Structure 1
Amino acid sequence: MTKIEGNTKRVIMLDRTQWIFAGMSIALSLQLSQPVAAAVPVGKVVQTAQTNSSDAAQKLYGEAEELYEQGTAEALRGAIVKYEKALKLYREAGNRSREALTLNNIGGAYLNLGENQKALDYYNQSLPLKRAIGDRGGEATLLSNIGGIYLSFGEKQKALDYYNQSLSLFRAVRSPHWEAVILKSIGSIYSELGEKQKALEYYNRALLLKRAIGDRRGEAVILNNIGKVYSDLGEKQKALEYYNQSLTLRRAVEDRGGEAVTLSNMAFVKRNLGNFTEALNDIEASLKIVENLSTPITATELRTSYFATVQDYYEFYIDLLMQLHKTNPNSGYDIKASEARKRARNP
């Protein structure tokens, strides 16, 4: 499953691509370790039938999980087929806990395939079951995932509504990590809506939690986001202060993809400050990292976001080289720009 701030081998270049699935994989693994709710026996024959049904369902579920972990489109579709069969058997056995979990996983598979509306349909089937069995952590996870889907649809206010419901539950079950994740997501939405001060409020709350639990990778993400807000507000020096803090942490935790993001952000600010040479060094360092992150991306949405981001980096780089060429026409910047155009066509 997709994880927030996944390792750099996934080559997730945009912080925004990390939102939707905030607590999914950990929440699900925790649920798997919990006892399965037993069906209420009506008689010995019924009990035996339910037991057989649950055993068969569990076997199918395990096979589906193995396919899911492979992550390819073919494997995910195979996982869905097996999950659906397991779902039917869990329903026959009256096992609402596993029914809810399986619905959630089918939703996750569709999400990874880029079929967000189908994912939403399954999440909405799982949600009332989570509430009925009192699984508040699972409910919080589903609400955050639903919020993320609405965000992908461009429905920011609806996404905020689900994120806020999720936030209250994560706080109630004392899950500071996922509370921080949702605070960051809410901050990102407010930033996109132009409500920069609200964005800073939520980012700073998330930052405190990340520091309290020692999540340095997550802390680096939020520092980067705060830097972006200050850049948008025109406070360039303050933006650089936060970017530098983020860069230090990202290098410390060997988050190469995140390092590329922060370096590109720093280059943008430095260019606007007129520090063209420093900006050039930063964007070249960023692109070098990007070009070395060669592991294929299978999820359609992430692949699209990745290539769009890389193209943005190259466009910025080429524009910067041409600006430098105007002031230093004999320094070969135009040649470097031409080479960069070729590389941009095959990132």
Structure 2
Amino acid sequence: MDELLAQDKLQLKRVDSAIKRLSESGIILIGVDTQKLSDSFREYLLSEHNLLQITPTNELLKTIAFDKSIDKTKTLLVNIFNYQEQEDIVEHLQFQRDYIYENNIKLVLILSNEMFSLLQSKGDLFSTTKYAHTFFDHSVDNSFEEKNDKLNKAIKNYENYLKEEIKYNNVILDLLFKIIDEAYSISYNQLALEFCNIALKYTLNTNQKIILYSYLGNFYNNISEYSKSINYSNKLLKISKKYKHKKAQAVALNNLGNAYDNLSKYNIALDYHKDSEKICKEIGDKHGVATSLGNIGSIYAELYDFNQALKYQVESLKIKEKLGDKQGIANSLGNIGNIYTNSANYEKALEYLNSSLKIQKQIGDKFGIAISLGNIGSVYLELSDFEKALTYQYDSLKIKEEIGDKHGVATSLGNIGSIYLELSDFEKALKYQYDSLKIKEEIGDKRGIISSLNNIGSIYIKLSDFNKAKQYLNNSLNLSKEIKSKSNIATTYNHFGKISLELEDYDKALKYQNDSLKIKREIDDKEGIANSFEGIGQIYSKQGSYTKSFDYFNKALKISKKIKSISLEANILKDMAHIYIKQNKYKEAKLHLIQSRNIYEAMSMQKEVEDINKELKELNI
């Protein structure tokens, strides 16, 4: 029973004594928190005591007190931990409590701590037990690939301390928090959560609860468990308000803002971040103000309000500059660079991203260097400079592997896969996307898993393997619905629409695009709305309904100009030119192709420029 601490091993001796005293009848309840611990208890009790193990079934335990086939000379052992109908069995036993004693049934029941608490709250059966206690699994899963010396040392210190004869809870908690810190710093969210849950088993003072709830709100957000993130962030908000801990309130509000942002509930997210900023101003926490401003800016960028996004990011940058916070300055420069990338101002994007990279190199911020290299690689992908894009992504990947940043490694692998897709190297594109997916599954990054599934589905669409594409997209859709990610649901519907269009099932293609459009309107995804309009326009174009097609293309064009998405604008102009060609309206086709080419030239997208030049040449224009 290595999973138990010393004080729990003392309780284990009491279990042994209680079983030996079960001479006539009675119930012993053993609550556990993991499958591993339930299995260990079962094996231990069977080896130490002459127990009769019974496989739990609903039917058997409904009538256990009256079953004449049971050998009443034996003490029965039933393990219902993780049993599907555990709650029903508990109810049956609750009903039979008096008959169990009258009929000389001796029962040792292993169940989950949740069911233990349920029985305790109901009182009747619990009050008649001979012995009842909850146990917690303190073993550590070291099966992860370890590349961080500080984390490895922190875990060893914790394990060594647990072997001491005399232990103090505060020391154990300090050691646990050090492990959590190190795991968080390299994005080992699942490992950090494992140790957070161990820490929760101890009696915590107010400050320890504040620290732990803050961590849990953050970690659950990182692995896309948004309801749990919101739950712990609300607990943090409640306790910080009770004890008037303003800084913790600001952290709670910030975590809530991040969770609702990931749920695409942008207005709610903005309110939380603005409330966080307000509190930080009240208490003079300038770092907190800068963080909140940056978060607000990021949400406006997601809403394609790039002017507001830049305004908030620049305000955040100015505060960090006054504070001399070099790492913060680098982060803000990177955020501004990403805004320019999204608004297709690639020259400015590279300027800011390279400025961020320069500072990160000066201060030796490897984590930041890797992110900046990846962001610069993404710009070169937009510019169709695939050689440079790959160089930067590979450089980013190498650093992330060195520092053990699994989340970052998965992101880089996915980015490299996207580049190979653009190069039509589908074999390599699939390899990198599968490698990315594997890591995301290991670390429990549900949003990342959805992204990889969509990317793999897109590759199979390009390969015209629509059955495989549907398989991956259905998995993506189910997971998106599970975590209530509306933006990802809309993206997946868009992919299904493309498949239906390729299969010339125009009614289904329209349904998927309209379903996608409906969600994008709900979450105010302006670029997404424009993409849906373009997709619907393409369907009507295939059907020869050119008037309807132009109507949707013009709607898409209007939005793309408003949000300054010039790459989308260029694509739509080219779509419209193709309709004019079908209608033999070559003058209008020429005008739109040249307009599209001019935008691609301004973006330095040479491949697209060459494609349009070929079209113009074929038309003898």
Do the structures match in fold with TM over 0.5?
A: yes
- Match of residue 235, structure 1, among 437, 456, 465: 465
Partners of 2:501 and 2:309 in 1: how far apart? 45
- Match of residue 449, structure 2, among 219, 225, 243: 219
User: C-alpha displacement at 1:62, in angstroms?
Assistant: 4.7
Q: What is the number of equivalent residue pairs in this alignment?
A: 270
User: C-alpha displacement at 1:102, in angstroms?
Assistant: 0.4
Larger-Rg structure: 2
Structure 1 102/238 Cα, relative in aligned 2: closer, same or farther at 3 Å?
Answer: same
Partners of 2:293 and 2:483 in 1: how far apart? 30
Partners of 2:320 and 2:492 in 1: how far apart? 44
Task: Indicate the residue corresponding to 2:540 in structure 1.
Answer: 318
Task: Indicate the residue corresponding to 1:70 in structure 2.
Answer: 296
**Residues 1:101 and 2:328 aligned together:** yes
Task: Indicate the residue corresponding to 1:40 in structure 2.
Answer: none
User: C-alpha displacement at 1:133, in angstroms?
Assistant: 3.1
Task: Indicate the residue corresponding to 1:206 in structure 2.
Answer: 436
Q: Which amino acid aligns with 1:87?
A: E
User: C-alpha displacement at 1:192, in angstroms?
Assistant: 0.9
Structure 1 155/121 Cα, relative in aligned 2: closer, same or farther at 3 Å?
Answer: same
Structure 1 125/319 Cα, relative in aligned 2: closer, same or farther at 3 Å?
Answer: closer
Task: Indicate the residue corresponding to 1:130 in structure 2.
Answer: 360
Mapping of residues 42-81 of structure 1, within 5 Å:
62-71=288-297, 72=300, 73-74=307-308, 76-77=310-311, 79-80=313-314
Structure 1: tracts of 5 or more residues without a match: 11-57, 91-97, 298-302, 324-333
CA offsets 1:194-240 (integer angstroms, 9 cap, x no match): 11111011001011111111223321221221122122122222222
Q: Which amino acid aligns with 1:70?
A: I
Structure 2: tracts of 5 or more residues without a match: 1-256, 267-283, 301-306, 557-621
- Match of residue 195, structure 1, among 422, 425, 431: 425
Task: Indicate the residue corresponding to 1:17 in structure 2.
Answer: none
Task: Indicate the residue corresponding to 2:414 in structure 1.
Answer: 184
Q: Which amino acid aligns with 2:485?
A: D
Range moving further from structure 2, 81-90 or 198-207: 81-90
CA offsets 1:21-72 (integer angstroms, 9 cap, x no match): xxxxxxxxxxxxxxxxxxxxxxxxxxxxxxxxxxxxx966554444333325
Mapping of residues 1-347 of structure 1, within 5 Å:
6-9=262-265, 62-71=288-297, 72=300, 73-74=307-308, 76-77=310-311, 79-80=313-314, 83-84=317-318, 86-87=320-321, 90=324, 98-112=325-339, 114=343, 115-273=345-503, 276=505, 280-281=507-508, 283-294=510-521, 295-296=523-524, 303=526, 305-319=527-541, 322=543
Structure 1 78/208 Cα, relative in aligned 2: closer, same or farther at 3 Å?
Answer: closer
Structure 1 125/257 Cα, relative in aligned 2: closer, same or farther at 3 Å?
Answer: closer
User: C-alpha displacement at 1:181, in angstroms?
Assistant: 1.2
User: C-alpha displacement at 1:157, in angstroms?
Assistant: 1.7
SS in 1 for 2:416: helix
Structure 1 151/75 Cα, relative in aligned 2: closer, same or farther at 3 Å?
Answer: closer
Structure 1 99/315 Cα, relative in aligned 2: closer, same or farther at 3 Å?
Answer: same
Structure 1 268/127 Cα, relative in aligned 2: closer, same or farther at 3 Å?
Answer: closer
CA offsets 1:130-167 (integer angstroms, 9 cap, x no match): 23433211211111122122223332221211111111
Structure 1 261/66 Cα, relative in aligned 2: closer, same or farther at 3 Å?
Answer: closer
SS in 2 for 1:194: coil
Partners of 2:319 and 2:500 in 1: how far apart? 56
Instruction: Check conservation: 1:67, 1:76, Cα contact below 8 A.
Output: no
Instruction: With the length of structure 2 as denominator, give the TM-score of the two structures.
Output: 0.39
Instruction: Check conservation: 2:414, 2:436, Cα contact below 8 A.
Output: yes
Structure with the higher fraction of residues in strand conformation: 2
Instruction: With the length of structure 1 as denominator, give the TM-score of the two structures.
Output: 0.65
Structure 1 77/117 Cα, relative in aligned 2: closer, same or farther at 3 Å?
Answer: farther
Task: Indicate the residue corresponding to 2:125 in structure 1.
Answer: none
CA offsets 1:267-296 (integer angstroms, 9 cap, x no match): 33244345x2xx634541442342243344
Partners of 1:280 and 1:221 in 2: how far apart? 27
Instruction: Check conservation: 2:520, 2:529, Cα contact below 8 A.
Output: no
SS in 1 for 2:364: coil
Q: Which amino acid aligns with 1:255?
A: S
Structure 1 67/216 Cα, relative in aligned 2: closer, same or farther at 3 Å?
Answer: closer
Range moving further from structure 2, 125-134 or 135-144: 125-134
User: C-alpha displacement at 1:339, in angstroms?
Assistant: 7.8
Structure 1 288/75 Cα, relative in aligned 2: closer, same or farther at 3 Å?
Answer: closer
Task: Indicate the residue corresponding to 2:227 in structure 1.
Answer: none
Range moving further from structure 2, 171-180 or 71-80: 71-80
Higher relative contact order (CA 8 A, sep 6+): 1
Q: Which amino acid aligns with 2:311?
A: R
Instruction: Check conservation: 1:267, 1:283, Cα contact below 8 A.
Output: yes
Structure 1 101/82 Cα, relative in aligned 2: closer, same or farther at 3 Å?
Answer: closer
Partners of 2:352 and 2:331 in 1: how far apart? 6
Instruction: Check conservation: 1:63, 1:79, Cα contact below 8 A.
Output: no
Q: Which amino acid aligns with 2:537?
A: E
Structure 1 341/64 Cα, relative in aligned 2: closer, same or farther at 3 Å?
Answer: same
